[in-house]
């Protein structure tokens, strides 16, 4: 299997310890109750985020990545709701003490959730044109978050908004602050979204496919910007994407999801150099690489994962991936739900091949 050069493993992985835990997701289940049936968008998800760490969430479209992120933010749209599990956010009170808030159980519209959302936890959404209000200026939208969470005047909030736009590399921020989203390019709108998310200096930034609609050059600029801001502000990042090339560049730890479940999780070097789950291996084989050709056909055609993600109303019995899996064992994978096993070094995989 081809691999992606990642540099020095020791410089890439931040293991963290219990003292610097920022977010703990335990047994999270988020379901949507529709007329057609129940969609189990997120099913028994566990992972931990440490301060200053970047955790990558990867998987195909429809695997529950965005719903998981919205669950952490406590903004799951109806008819969806969290039905089980805990989302423990370790809140620093500022006096040296900590408070653990369960985002899964607090009132999503209550004062506590509002005080955390947008201040301690911020989110950059997938498509800024649909996330930004078309009838308010960029500056007004950034100032709204600042005025809500900080004790400042409107003039001070405007200056903070300009300074934040400048920090994210926006050209001529004094002029852009009074522009509307439709007057900006795609890359500028994405920078405005990042500025809005960073305006209150959050402890955790959730980036949901923040570079999907951007050209390659702008994508590289946004990724570099996020890395630089993370080092400057010391925040943790949950980076959601289907692009494993981006994960290789950005992440310290990787969580692979399929049909709402975590199928594999490990540090980024282990995922790329020693993947265990057949789904992870298939994703890695589908990465385009310069100079790589098929050994059999001597062509440069990409290896594709056969089939498609199943209908969420009729998830296959046993392992959800078995209809597409090249290593599926008949009579086992199609009948028995695979266990979630812990291998060496904290490497976890949901597969019967490692029992």
Q: Tell me the pLDDT of the chain averaged across its residues.
A: 85
pTM: 0.86
Tell me what percent of the chain is helix, strand and coil, each rounded to the nearest 5: 35, 25, 40
> What's the pLDDT band for 8 if we cut at 50, 70, 90?
very low
Question: How many residues are given for the chain?
Answer: 355
Please give the average per-residue pLDDT across 124-133, as a whole number: 76
Q: How many CB atoms lie within 10 A of CB 12?
A: 16
Give yes or no for residue 77 having a pLDDT over 80.
yes
Angle at alpha carbon of residue 337, lines to 336 and 338, rounded to 5°: 105
Please give the average per-residue pLDDT across 197-213, as a whole number: 84
Quote the CA–CA distance of 146 and 226 in Å, as a whole number. Answer: 20
First-to-last alpha carbon distance for the chain, in angstroms, is 23
Please give the average per-residue pLDDT across 43-52, as a whole number: 93
Quote the pLDDT of residue 4.
39
Pairing of strands 261-267, 348-350: antiparallel
Of the candidate ranges 20-24, 169-173, 299-303, 311-315, the one whose mean pLDDT is the lowest: 299-303
Cβ contacts of 85 within 8 Å, gap of 6 or more: 25, 26, 27, 28, 29, 44, 45, 104
Higher pLDDT, 301 or 310: 310
Please give the average per-residue pLDDT across 177-183, as a whole number: 91
> Residues 54, 89, 27, 263: what is their CA dihedral angle, to the nearest 10 degrees?
0
**Of 90, 145, 160, the residue nearest 115 (C-alpha):** 145
Scanning the structure block, which residue is given the tokens 């989110």?
Answer: 123
Quote the pLDDT of residue 263.
95
Quote the pLDDT of residue 225.
83
Quote the pLDDT of residue 278.
93
Quote the CA–CA distance of 286 and 304 in Å, as a whole number. Answer: 6
- Helices 186-198/138-149 angle, 10° precision: 10
Cβ contacts of 206 within 8 Å, gap of 6 or more: 69, 72, 73, 121, 122, 123, 124, 237, 238, 240
Cα dist. 112→86, 103, 227, 256 in Å? 16, 9, 29, 31
């Amino acid at each position: 299997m081809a691999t992606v050069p990642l540099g020095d493993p020791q410089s890439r992985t931040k293991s963290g310890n219990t003292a610097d835990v920022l977010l703990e997701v335990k047994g999270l289940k988020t379901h949507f109750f529709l007329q057609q049936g129940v969609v189990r968008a997120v099913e028994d998800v566990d992972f931990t985020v440490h301060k200053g760490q970047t955790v990558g969430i990867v998987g195909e479209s429809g695997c529950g990545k965005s719903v998981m992120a919205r669950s952490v933010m406590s903004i799951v749209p109806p008819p969806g709701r969290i039905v089980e599990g805990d989302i423990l956010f370790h809140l620093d009170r500022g006096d040296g003490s900590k408070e653990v808030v369960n985002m899964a159980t607090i009132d999503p519209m209550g004062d506590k959730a509002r005080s955390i959302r947008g201040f301690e936890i911020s989110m950059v959404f997938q498509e800024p044109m649909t996330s930004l209000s078309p009838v308010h200026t960029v500056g007004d939208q950034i100032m709204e978050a600042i005025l809500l969470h900080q004790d400042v005047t409107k003039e001070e909030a405007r200056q903070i908004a300009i300074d934040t736009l400048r920090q994210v590399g926006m050209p001529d921020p004094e002029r852009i602050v009074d522009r509307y989203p439709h007057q900006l390019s795609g890359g500028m709108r994405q920078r405005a979204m990042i500025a809005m998310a960073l305006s209150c200096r959050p402890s955790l930034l959730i980036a949901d496919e923040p570079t999907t609609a951007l050209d390659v050059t702008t994508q590289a600029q946004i990724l570099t910007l996020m890395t630089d801001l993370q080092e400057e502000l010391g925040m943790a990042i949950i980076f959601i994407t289907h692009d494993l090339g981006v994960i290789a560049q950005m992440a310290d730890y990787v969580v692979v999801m399929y049909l709402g479940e975590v199928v594999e999780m490990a540090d980024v070097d282990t995922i790329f150099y020693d993947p265990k789950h057949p789904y992870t291996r298939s994703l890695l084989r589908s990465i385009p690489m310069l100079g790589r050709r098929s050994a059999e056909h001597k062509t440069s055609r990409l290896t594709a994962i056969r089939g498609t993600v199943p209908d969420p109303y009729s998830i296959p019995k046993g392992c959800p991936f078995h209809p597409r899996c090249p290593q599926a064992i008949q009579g086992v994978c199609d009948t028995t739900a695979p266990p979630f096993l812990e291998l060496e070094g904290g490497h976890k995989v949901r597969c019967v091949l490692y029992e």
